[in-house]
A and B are shown apart, each in its own frame.
Chain A
Amino acid sequence: MNAHDVSSAIARPDFAAIAQWVAPGTKVLDLGCGDGSLLRYLQQTRNTRGYGVEIADANIATCVKNGINVIQMDLETGLSIFESNSFDYVILSQTLQAMKNTEIVVREMLRVGREGIVTFPNFGYWRHRLQVVRGHMPVSTRLPYQWYDTPNVHLCTLKDFEEFCDSHGVHILERAVMSNGSLVSVMPNLLGSLAVYRFERGS
Chain B
Amino acid sequence: MPDSTSVGVVAPQRARFDAPITLRSGTTLPGYELVFETYGTLNAAKSNAVLVCHALSGNHHVAGVYSEQDKRPGWWDSMIGPGKPIDTGRFFVIGVNNLGGCHGSTGPSSTDPQTGKPYGASFPVVTVDDWVETQARLADHLGIQRFAVVMGGSLGGMQALAWSITHPERVAHALVIAAAPKLTAQNIAFNDVARQAILTDPDFHGGNFYEHGVTPKRGLRLARMLGHITYLSDDVMGSKFGRVLRSGTFNFGFDVEFEIESYLRYQGDKFAESFDANTYLLMTKALDYFDPTHHHKDGNLSQALAPATAGFLVVSFTSDWRFAPDRSREIVKALLDNERSVSYAEITSAHGHDAFLMEDEHYHDVVRAYMANIDLGPAA
Contacts and interface: CB of A to CB of B under 8 A. Distances in A.
Interface of A: 27, 49, 51, 57-58, 60-65, 67-73, 81-83, 86
Contact of B343 (A49, A71, A82, A83): A71
A57 B344 CA distance: 11
Given A57-B362, A65-B373, A67-B373, A81 B345 contact: no
B365 A61 contact: yes
Nearest to A57: B362
Interface string B296-336: 00000000000000000100000000000000010011001
B336 A64 contact: no
A58 B372 CA distance: 16
B370 interface: yes
B342 interface: yes
A61 B366 contact: yes
Main DSSP-derived SS at the A contact region = mixed
A69 B343 contact: yes
Nearest to B342: A69
Given A64-B313, A65-B372, A70 B336 contact: no
A73 B362 CA distance: 15
B380 to A, nearest CB: 17
Given A62-B369, A64-B343, 4 more contacts: A61-B362, A69-B341, A72-B345, A83-B336
A60 B369 CA distance: 9
A83 B362 contact: no
B196 interface: no
Given A65-B372, A65-B373, A60 B345 contact: yes
Nearest to A65: B369
Contacts of B333: 81
B348 interface: yes
B373 A72 contact: no
Contacts of A86: 336-337
B346 interface: yes
Interface in B339-380: 339, 341-346, 348, 362, 365-366, 368-370, 372-373
B366 A81 contact: no
16 contacts: A27-B339, A51-B336, A57-B348, A57-B365, A60-B362, A60-B366, A61-B362, A61-B366, A62-B369, A64-B366, A71-B336, A71-B342, A71-B344, A81-B329, A83-B336, A83-B337
B337 A72 contact: no
A60 B344 CA distance: 8
B346 A73 contact: yes
Contacts of A69: 341-343
Contacts of A81: 329, 332-333, 336
A172 B212 CA distance: 80
A27 B344 CA distance: 18
A97 B202 CA distance: 66
Given A71-B332, A81-B332, A63 B343 contact: yes
A57 B349 CA distance: 12
A46 to B, nearest CB: 17
A64 B371 CA distance: 9
A83 B337 CA distance: 7
B293 to A, nearest CB: 17
A72 B346 contact: yes
Contacts of B372: 65
A60 B345 CA distance: 7
Contacts of B362: 57-58, 60-61
Contacts of B344: 70-73
A73 B329 CA distance: 10
A83 B373 CA distance: 28
- Pairs of residues from A and B, 9 with the lowest C-beta to C-beta distance, nearest first: A61-B365, A65-B369, A64-B369, A57-B362, A61-B369, A71-B344, A72-B346, A81-B333, A61-B366
